[in-house]
Amino acid sequence: MKTFLNSLLLLTFLIPAVFFGQTQVSGTVTDEANALPLPGVNIVIKGTTTGASTDFDGNYTLTVSDGDVVVFSYVGYTTKEVTYTGQSPFNVTLAEDASQLDEVVLIGYGTTTKKDATGSIEAVTSEDFTRGNIVTPENLLQGRVAGVSVTTSGAPGSGSEIKIRGGSSINASNNPLIVIDGLPITNDNVGGSRGILASINPNDIDSFTILKDASATAIYGSRASNGVIIIVTKKGKSEFSADYDLQYTFGENANQIDVFSADAFADLVNSQNLPPSFISQLGDANTNWQDEIFRTTVSSLHNVTLRGALFDVVPARFSFGVTDQEGALITSEFERRNLSLALNPTLFDNHLKINVNTNLSFEDNRFADTGQIGAALGYDPTQPVYDPDSPFGGFYEHRNGDVLLLGGNNPVASLLQTNNIGDSQRFFGNLNFDYKFHFLPDMKFVLNLGYDQTEGFVTNNSVFATNDDVSANKSVSFQNRTNQSLDGFLNYKKTFGDIGTDFTAGYSYQKFTNDGYFTGNQFDPISVGDTFADPDIVLIGFFGRANFTFFDKYLMTATYRRDGTSRFSEENRWGDFYAGALAWQISDEDFLKDSKTISNLKLRVGYGITGQQEIPALDLFLNRYRSGNENSQYQFGNAIVQSLIPSEINPDLKWEETATIEVGIDYGLFNDRVTGSLNVFQKDSEDLLFDAPVPDGSNFSNRVLQNIGNLRIQGIEFTTNVDVISKEDLSLNFNFNATFLDREITELAFGQDVTTGGIAGGTGNFIQLFREGEAPNSFYVFKQLQDAQGNYIEGAYADLNGDNIINDEDRYLKADPDADVILGFQSNLEYKNFDFSFNLRANIGNYVYNNVNSSRAQYDLLQSNSVLGNIPTSVLDTNFQTTSDVIISDVYVENASFLRMDNITLGYTFKELSKVIKSVRLWGGVQNVFVITEYSGLDPEVFNGIDNTIYPRPRNILLGANIKF
């Protein structure tokens, strides 16, 4: 109403103008597809500098003369030219640009259009998000982008490992840098929370932009070697809208490790000639311990988002979400409440844009000890879960009267009696100022202030079965992490004739802190508490970029960044990272301009150097001593002496640098019905940071972080998006991506092998190796010998060097855990109001060391200290007796290539239900639909290639509704 009166008033004042042949005209610009008004549309009278722009209701006023050609342009929409011939009101509709070339993409510290992008960048927006059980943001990305692999564990709300192009490092983190609304976040977690991205509501995310190659990431310098993922949260809009999403999930474990049932177990025990003190322990119950500790789960998710103009002036978005997820392991729970508010006012006639984002997240967790999964695998199946005569809470325990026998506690009891509650709060937000200078509108200044704080408590209130006097635990641990950042940069963008220029220069500062305390078990008189405080991590960078566009076809970018980190000594802490890229928009050349087949063809070449310093050690270069706590003291005479031990040190630690060269082609065929890209790249990492062994006695531990060598990764990435059918009623589209990766260690210090890969069942043993010329983390094993019938001969290995002694020199490298080929396929079908989608993923050539079998499937383990223990039935395949004889055998390194369907969804949308409810979409789906693999373990997707009873991934059935008001 007010707006209308205002417009009327304005019109009245402008009536005199009419008499000079110029008319003050007004109108509304709307979206052709849905008649929604478009704010911020650029309007210019062609050939002049007279212009205007629409307000947030899509309205504008302009002084025009008859015959003027008025140009309406808006990002993402086809520019329209309309001649003024007296239309009143002068309303215009704009159609969305089918070509995505004008789509704005984010690059480090700025934006560009997809057309002008010179690096390898892929944006995934909320329309493309993988549908299914989306609890954490990473779920949104799974299988969508070539070169990006997302591996999640099964624990509810769990964190996951994201790798872009296989990472570039072997020990320093392989995690990409994640930037949320301009704030780079730490990858470290806080006790009480389940993962750094777990506290973000996926509904709040508008897009992910993945920067893959060095020319795109170099501007982030120090942390960019593994790629960058820029997350942008949804902004406020002034048009009012409300969304309510709800979702229910029913899950159950799809698979279990096979161990002996009670009868088979009793037979086995009797056949193995165990001493009577063991055989007499056989019970007469029939318990499947894995069934006892796992359950089917019911989880729910509710989310409300409101968008509108606050006080009619400030576009805002407010969202509130509640997630409640049960874990498959009994007692495991995850609950998260998110509140987020975004305000996006603009002031001074669009010269100053302010974005305020605030997010609050509350996580309540009950953590269940995943170690009990291993305990359940090994527990005697002939014993019952409950025992009314038991002095240990009514649960069965291995005991002799009141005395517990040595040999593991009842896993159900352990889970039910443990109350480990995590409570964490996270606030993160940023304040972003984007000021276009009044006196020089081509130049703008952007200031971004970000703050992220997580506080977590873990309270433990448990009892446990023990012979000790202390049988309860009450302890609290607390952790506080903060992350503060400040970015400021100047940006100057101007087109001089056919040459477009874009310069950016800026500064970035970031500081991380971490500290906390632990009270110790308050029921145990000898338990002591402790506090800890990490040294601060400070990162400072100076950066600059220059972009040139010639004739809209030839593009050139150069970036430079100088980064300093507090992790290295003064001599080594600064690094220079520069990059350059060239691109040629071939499809704009005359010979292709009018092609019907090729609608877009762009050739890109880029080279860049990025750095990596994300290692767990924060002050390794400093000469430090550590004092023993109250339980670790020494005595001189009658007095306790607080002893001091020097900590391991490496003063020479420095930046790991990765040089990437990439050639890519972005293509679009048949009017962009088919789009995609093909990238070929090579990354060379130097001075790899790794925790490598040092000679005993040469330092204060036997492994120290060092710069040890070079790694080369070569790869080809191919993506294609095909809109097979694109009609009013029916559309079918699919996305296929493939990545081929080859990783090789090109150099190691002194050419010396570096051992890695610790395993369960053999402390101090290693199963993987870094060797020059080989893939990193290759499995280093003995070659198993077989007899004439093909049975394995226990402990007999091939004498590969022929010296008649079987020792480490007879070990060989068999395969490595990284896949050679990663494939993703996604399909979306929409027919009338139905929508259907599914997603497939495959890894080929990845191997896994089955540590579950290698450390558990041996007959000796039927005796677990003083009691009977169960073992996997896979022991019947090998008939192995003793773990230490066989743990390094190559029979346990298996091919774990797999094809997996992550999710499949079917939905139906009711449109235009009523004035209030705009649409309701009901949908159902299945997550973790199937896995096809030859691997004998639970799941072929294993974090680092060593499979040791991972938390099983449940199969989930989901039902949900999205209601739009």
Which residue in 322, 405, 716, 722 binds another protein (CB under 8 A)?
A: 405
Smaller CB separation from another protein, 678 or 798 = 798
Site for another protein in 237-276 (CB under 8 A): 274-276
* Contact call for residue 47 and another protein (CB under 8 A): no
SS (H, E, C) 272-303: CCCCHHHHCCCCCCCCCHHHHHECCEEEEEEE
Within its chain, how far is the Cα of 323 from the centroid?
Answer: 19
| Choice from 105, 146, 229, 537 touching another protein (CB under 8 A) | 537
Identify which range of 294-302, 425-433, 839-847, 883-891 contacts another protein by CB under 8 A.
Answer: 883-891
Least distance (Å) between residue 469 CB and another protein:
6
Site track for another protein across 192-231, x = CB under 8 A: ----------------------------------------
Number of Cβ within 10 Å of residue 12's Cβ equals 9
Q: Is 841 helix (H, G, I), strand (E, B) or coil?
A: strand
Total residues in contact with another protein, by rule CB under 8 A: 111
Site for another protein in 732-771 (CB under 8 A): 750, 752-755, 758, 761-766
Task: State in angstroms the smallest separation of the CB of 886 from another protein.
Answer: 12
User: Which is nearer to another protein, 63 or 566 (by Cβ)?
Assistant: 566
Task: Report the nearest approach of another protein to the CB of residue 712 (Å).
Answer: 23
Pairing status of strand 834-844 against strand 821-831:
antiparallel
Q: How many CB atoms lie within 10 A of CB 654?
A: 21
Report d(CA 508, CA 139) in Å as an integer: 30
List 284, 349, 570, 590, residue binding another protein (CB under 8 A): 570
Helix (H) or strand (E) holding 856: helix 851-856
Least distance from another protein to the Cβ atom of residue 206, Å: 30
Task: Classify each residue of 31-52 as buried b or exposed e, where b means 16 or more C-beta atoms within 10 Å of its C-beta.
Answer: beeeeebbbebebbbeeeeeeb
Residue 170 Cα distances to 689, 711, 923, 944, angstroms: 7, 8, 42, 11
- Distance between CA atoms of residues 873 and 260, nearest Å: 6
- Contact present, 613 and 690 (Cβ < 8 Å): no
Q: Kindly state whether residue 861 participates in binding another protein, applying the rule CB under 8 A.
A: yes
CB of 665 to another protein, least distance (A): 39
Q: What is the Cα–Cα distance from 957 to 952, expressed in whole angstroms?
A: 16
Q: Which residues contact 387 (CB under 8 A, 6 or more apart)?
A: 394, 395, 396, 397
Is residue 251 a contact partner of residue 684, using CB atoms and an 8 Å limit? no
Among 389, 469, 594, 729, binds another protein (CB under 8 A): 469
Could you tell me which stretch among 44-52, 413-421, 855-863, 928-936 binds another protein (CB under 8 A)?
Answer: 855-863
Question: Scanning residues 48 to 107, which ones bind another protein (CB under 8 A)?
Answer: none
Assign 850 to helix, strand or coil: strand
Nearer to another protein, 811 or 953 (CB): 811
Q: What are the helix (H) ranges across 294-336?
A: none
| Main-chain dihedrals φ then ψ at residue 304, nearest 5 degrees | -120, 130
Which one, 468 or 787, has the nearer CB to another protein? 468
Q: How far is the CB of 222 from another protein (least distance, A)?
A: 12
Tell me whether residue 111 or residue 629 sits nearer to another protein (CB atom): 629
Near another protein by CB under 8 A, which window of 41-49, 134-142, 293-301, 401-409? 401-409
Cα 394 to the chain's mean position, in Å?
43
- In whole angstroms, the minimum distance from the beta carbon of 6 to another protein comes to 34
Which is nearer to another protein, 294 or 782 (by Cβ)? Answer: 782
User: Which region, judged by CB under 8 A, interacts with another protein, from 297-305, 452-460, 467-475, 939-947?
Assistant: 467-475
Residue 693 contacts residue 635 (beta carbons within 8 Å)? no
Residues 493-512 that bind another protein (CB under 8 A): 507, 509, 511
Residue closer to another protein (CB basis): 107 or 274: 274
**Neighbouring residues of 616: CB distance < 8 A, sequence distance ≥ 6:** 705
Q: Which of 88, 277, 296, 786 binds another protein (CB under 8 A)?
A: 277
Angle 558-563-567 from CA coordinates, rounded to 5° = 150
Tell me the C-alpha to C-alpha distance, in Å, between residue 921 and each of 827, 836, 909.
Answer: 19, 12, 4
For residues 901-930, which are near another protein according to CB under 8 A?
none
CB of 945 to another protein, least distance (A): 17
Q: Which residues contact 206 (CB under 8 A, 6 or more apart)?
A: 125, 126, 232, 233, 234, 235
Given 884, 911, 913, 943, the residue binding another protein (CB under 8 A):
884
What type of residue sits at position 324?
D
Nearer to another protein, 37 or 628 (CB): 628
The span from the first CA to the last CA of the chain, in angstroms, equals 22
Question: Nearer to another protein by C-beta: 71 or 618?
Answer: 618
Q: Give residues 768-807 in contact with another protein (rule: CB under 8 A).
A: 805, 807
**Shortest spacing between CB 691 and another protein, in angstroms:** 7
- To the nearest whole angstrom, how small is the minimum distance from the Cβ of residue 507 to another protein? 4
CA dist 91 and 217 (Å) reads 43
Q: Considering only residues 380 through 399, tell me which ones interact with another protein, judged by CB under 8 A.
A: none
Report the distance separating Cα 739 and Cα 148, nearest Å. Answer: 9
Between 723 and 753, CB nearer to another protein: 753
Q: Structure tokens of 887?
A: 């743990």
What distance in Å separates the CA atoms of residue 309 and residue 306, rounded to the nearest whole number?
10
- Comparing CB distances to another protein, the nearer of 76 and 761 is 761
- 8 Å CB contact between 935 and 844: no
19 binds another protein (CB under 8 A): no
Structural contact between residues 731 and 723, judged by C-beta atoms closer than 8 angstroms: yes
The residue among 100 and 864 lying less far from another protein, judged by its C-beta, is: 864
CB of 643 to another protein, least distance (A): 4
Site residues for another protein, 278-297, by CB under 8 A, read 278
Q: Which is nearer to another protein, 258 or 515 (CB)?
A: 515
* Interface residue with another protein, options 390, 733, 827, 883 (CB under 8 A): 883
CB of 430 to another protein, least distance (A): 18
Task: Specify the amino acid at residue 850.
Answer: N
What residues between 669 and 708 interact with another protein by CB under 8 A? 691-704, 706
Pick the piece of the chain touching another protein (CB under 8 A) from 6-14, 306-314, 400-408, 830-838.
400-408
Q: How far is the CB of 120 from another protein (least distance, A)?
A: 30
Q: How far apart are CA 289 and CA 296, in angstroms?
A: 15
Pick from 890, 729, 715, 911: nearest CA to 818: 715
**Considering beta carbons, is residue 6 or 702 the nearer one to another protein?**
702
CB of 793 to another protein, least distance (A): 17
Contact positions with another protein (CB under 8 A) in 597-656: 618-619, 622-638, 640-647, 649-650
Among 110, 391, 535, 845, binds another protein (CB under 8 A): 535
Judge contact between 754 and 742, C-beta under 8 A.
no
Tokens of 383: 């014993």
Q: Return d(Cα 156, Cα 134) in angstroms, integer.
A: 11
| CB closer to another protein out of 532 and 834 | 532
Pick from 35, 440, 932, 959 the residue near another protein by CB under 8 A: 440
Q: Which of 722, 725, 724, 748 is nearest to 736 (CA)?
A: 722
**Residue choice 308, 488, 529, 845 for contact with another protein (CB under 8 A):** 488
Do residues 776 and 172 make contact, with C-beta atoms less than 8 angstroms apart? no
Q: Which stretch binds another protein (CB under 8 A): 31-39, 281-289, 450-458, 533-541?
A: 533-541
Dist. CA 427–CA 413, nearest whole Å: 36
